[in-house]
Structure 1
């Protein structure tokens, strides 16, 4: 017995050759070859009855594959074409199809979206429209004296790209603007942003499965139309100044008058008498600056008192101060900075119990606020009773307001409680009917929140069945008498629409950048699903949104935030009750946990082919199967713990074979790596090879 290797159709196989006595007289000696691997005839096969497949070959000449095929008529292909195969060959590779997304807003949220989406998605055509000449959102528009963040600087930034050399615990506005514009340039977001572009309207086209935008280019004063599968709102909630004041006579006032977001350049305050209206986040920062710039007197008008705390999230975070050069140098150490940052985040986090009206923690928090305010007012009991609000803490922002309470004790400041009644050519008439002369009016009257304007963009948005977004977000004026949204990220009746940092998007005791990261990641997952599964549109169901809204309503009934005042954090329902409008109904860890995996069952879907929702299976291949330099075994990795195994997301495009993409096995693509298929013809050839 001999062991030989025969070349059978270009494949080397191990054979066993056995000579037999019975040889056909018409041939030379014949070898009988047993191909054990072709049929279940291996000696160990469980059937116990192995069969031999015997082929006869001349020992002097091997037959060709065609000769073997010709000798077996039962294997001959039919003459008619295989139409089923042709149909499959026409299909695309499985993968993520190309879609377009329009982000409206170039502030913190828009820049975060522009940084994250292109790195979590492939085949995405992304554009960001910003109506102002520069990006930066409120940090571009607000340049009044003393503008700064009331969140610690080291919290108010992206988690994955921190700035370690902030100048102070609470950074000035210009430094914050520089950070975000630096992120914009570092990650190429500036190439996606079109500034001086004002959206006029956005309308859902159900037939196309796209949003249709009318846009005004303020550079050329021309209008044009854009369309995209996705509309992502990142306009923020501080985009429409509540100005001018509604009281009569404001237009008659003959001196300078303005909102803080419109602070005049080179304005001299020295020796001036100023009327400062409002004690919100801007007003409390402006008052100490007016004194520092040498005004002769300030008449400070406040509709009601405001809660002042050491920090916007409570007493556990540092007061305002500048960092020393030594401290800044020390924080350049990556390990030390990471520990410092985590400690700062931990101290800033709260728990729901502190917001539960009447709870022990809520009472302790109230007592701490009262003590802090009394001490900073120098024990002035009369002023203390004026300044302390008559509503429970929560419905308006807690304000650190360094120097504000101290400024109220300055003899150059008069504090007037109550609503301004009117204006004259030369002064302001307060709630006490007394007219006080003034040279300048600073109307720090905040931003509009009525009729849905705080959470909807300043342009008209029309969804399914003509549903208007401003009306939908208008609380008492909406269809249900309160705003019905889902997960603080989308709403029923508005397909392929998502928002960041608007209704119920802000984290309880959490900085806005972290919220923007979380919601950007969630949106990425939704877009990936649409790209992969040939989904034309998806919209959250009314039932699912009602379920989320129930959670918000139940928390509102227990919360100190919704007690007795129409503040910025709440909305008034048609029943006259106050309901949480700004915050996510849980802590940071709560949001991170629940947003990690989208509840796909909460959405309703329209497919590109509703008769065949599984058309995305395509031709049974991804392009990686035919990319010579592509890693077809990217899923084989070493050092991956079982709990993380096959958990990473994939961004495998359908049509990037021609563009030269190589998958690196880490959930991203290495661009400009040639994979051997250069043009559309090569892509078609790859499809032909696929069967």
Structure 2
């Protein structure tokens, strides 16, 4: 089946792309997703307590405000329902192909088309928008002996709701954003909870509250009320970015976090285990009011020794201690800098994106990649944020995508890609801007790839990223015409990034 634009992923990125195309008059597109519903990560992550750590009015599309958010920080079911509502609101449902996992996407140099092999059949497309997001492929640790475990093992992103945890001995591996949310929910029900911690997290109070009916009514009826609330949150969150760009600014927040830890955890030995010894922001800063208190309960153990192996009835740590368990929950995050899905994408000459991104990811403006014509990668390298909503970044990228498509239409060219020189300059600029930020202070985090580069986070404010993507630069791109001849950019204009 032929379509002009193929979109892979039906989360914020994919649905946002579909809506943006629809509103701009590009109506020949299809959205492919492996799941049985839309929502992406907010469909897949259904663990107890799953919620967003970005304010609701920011973690939503600017063109689709939701005056009915029930709390200032939304829960997973509410965000999933919001995305479902966007599908209905903008009438894009007929364009969505669920249960269509894309096994391979390959650029055909001769036909100048993307060839997609999906679980629901083969498709071709002129343009490919990849929007599976960085939090779609769970990271499963290679634990010796895990295959011999006699109990149940699952990742938090694939929660086993059919597995009752009541009265069980549960081992939780990982102390990141997911564990901080589900550990307090399951702790009261389990007989024993053993939490295996590699490094403690900086945690700030979760200042969430109910949004009153009066506020909701105002957002529905008063012109500009919700836009004003969103603008205020945007400015507040942008100021928080200072602490990531200039680590000394975060010292006040760090003191607040440690003061909260001292108040909530009175046992000195446990508090010492939970005290971070790296700059705040070097790893993801978490928000919670009940995580630390849950670890003080009599049925909880926090283990900081590394796991040596898994045995049929539990886990053994490097100190030789056996920790009984009949259930193992992996709160071990996702493949972010090494996602296996990139090996499914093959660009010009058959080169896979996995090969092109070895050992480190790079993309022009985080969106397009030299050697991969007509490929647009949403939430690609260095488009993440530590302080505000990635939806802002997605919308900036979508404006760039639309500008590129309009340029193709105006020039009559078949395909477009960034020049290697423009991509190189962009990457070098990113690396220069990264110097001196909190992410370069020496801690190990999922922001860093195998080479030690931060290929995940944008080293600046959301505003600066949006400004840089506001104008499309033809001189930074290579066009491919219908007769397959490349149209190289004018060199005198190719230096601007």
Same fold, judged at TM 0.5 (above): yes
Shift of 1:301: 0.6
CA distance in 2, matches of 1:271, 1:330: 46
CA distance in 1, matches of 2:221, 2:319: 57
2:10–2:131: 8 Å Cα contact kept in structure 1? Answer: yes
Residues 167-219 of structure 1 show CA distances to partners (whole Å, capped at 9, x for unaligned) of: 222222111100001101211221111011111211111222211111221xx
Shift of 1:465: 3.2
Q: 1:462 is matched with which residue: 346, 349, 352? A: 346
Q: Which residue of 2 aligns with 1:270?
A: 166
Is 1:165 aligned to 2:65, yes or no? no
CA distance in 1, matches of 2:320, 2:213: 52
Residues 333-364 of structure 1 show CA distances to partners (whole Å, capped at 9, x for unaligned) of: 4343332222222211236642245x541433
CA distance in 1, matches of 2:155, 2:211: 31
SS of residue in 2 equivalent to 1:276: strand
Q: 1:297 is matched with which residue: 192, 195, 208? A: 192
Is 1:572 aligned to 2:450, yes or no? yes
Residues 518-568 of structure 1 show CA distances to partners (whole Å, capped at 9, x for unaligned) of: 111110110111012111211111111111111111122211113323412
Distance 1:241 1:518, change over 3 A: same
2:127–2:375: 8 Å Cα contact kept in structure 1? Answer: yes
Does 1 or 2 have the higher relative contact order (CA < 8 Å, sep 6+)? 2
Shift of 1:371: 3.0
Residues 486-542 of structure 1 show CA distances to partners (whole Å, capped at 9, x for unaligned) of: 111111111111111131122453312222211111101101110121112111111
Residues 131-168 of structure 1 show CA distances to partners (whole Å, capped at 9, x for unaligned) of: 11111111111111111111122221111211122222
Q: Which residue of 1 aligns with 2:243?
A: 354
CA distance in 2, matches of 1:438, 1:409: 19
Length, aligned pairs only: 485
Q: Which runs of 5+ in 2 are unaligned?
A: 488-497
1:508–1:588: 8 Å Cα contact kept in structure 2? Answer: no
RMSD (Å), alpha carbons: 2.3
Is 1:107 aligned to 2:11, yes or no? yes
CA distance in 2, matches of 1:388, 1:201: 45
Q: Which residue of 2 aligns with 1:133?
A: 36
Q: 1:231 is matched with which residue: 111, 124, 128? A: 128
2:38–2:84: 8 Å Cα contact kept in structure 1? Answer: yes
SS of residue in 2 equivalent to 1:436: strand
1:352–1:586: 8 Å Cα contact kept in structure 2? Answer: yes
Q: Which residue of 2 aligns with 1:535?
A: 413
Q: Which residue of 1 aligns with 2:491?
A: none
2:284–2:386: 8 Å Cα contact kept in structure 1? Answer: no
Judging by fraction of residues, say which structure has more helix: 2
CA distance in 2, matches of 1:583, 1:269: 36
SS of residue in 2 equivalent to 1:580: coil
The residue correspondences of 1:86-125 to structure 2 (distance < 5 A) are 100-122=4-26, 124-125=27-28
Q: Which residue of 2 aligns with 1:624?
A: none
CA distance in 2, matches of 1:381, 1:387: 10
Q: Which residue of 2 aligns with 1:84?
A: none
The residue correspondences of 1:595-606 to structure 2 (distance < 5 A) are 595-606=469-480
CA distance in 1, matches of 2:47, 2:54: 18
Residues 19-55 of structure 1 show CA distances to partners (whole Å, capped at 9, x for unaligned) of: xxxxxxxxxxxxxxxxxxxxxxxxxxxxxxxxxxxxx
Q: 2:262 is matched with which residue: 361, 369, 374? A: 374
Q: 1:364 is matched with which residue: 252, 259, 272? A: 252
2:316–2:323: 8 Å Cα contact kept in structure 1? Answer: yes
Q: Which residue of 1 aligns with 2:233?
A: 344
Q: Which runs of 5+ in 1 are unaligned?
A: 1-97, 218-223, 312-318, 614-691
Residues 351-407 of structure 1 show CA distances to partners (whole Å, capped at 9, x for unaligned) of: 6642245x5414334334333333343x44332321123332334221102311111
Bigger CA radius of gyration: 1
CA distance in 2, matches of 1:439, 1:99: 49
Shift of 1:275: 1.0
Is 1:521 aligned to 2:399, yes or no? yes
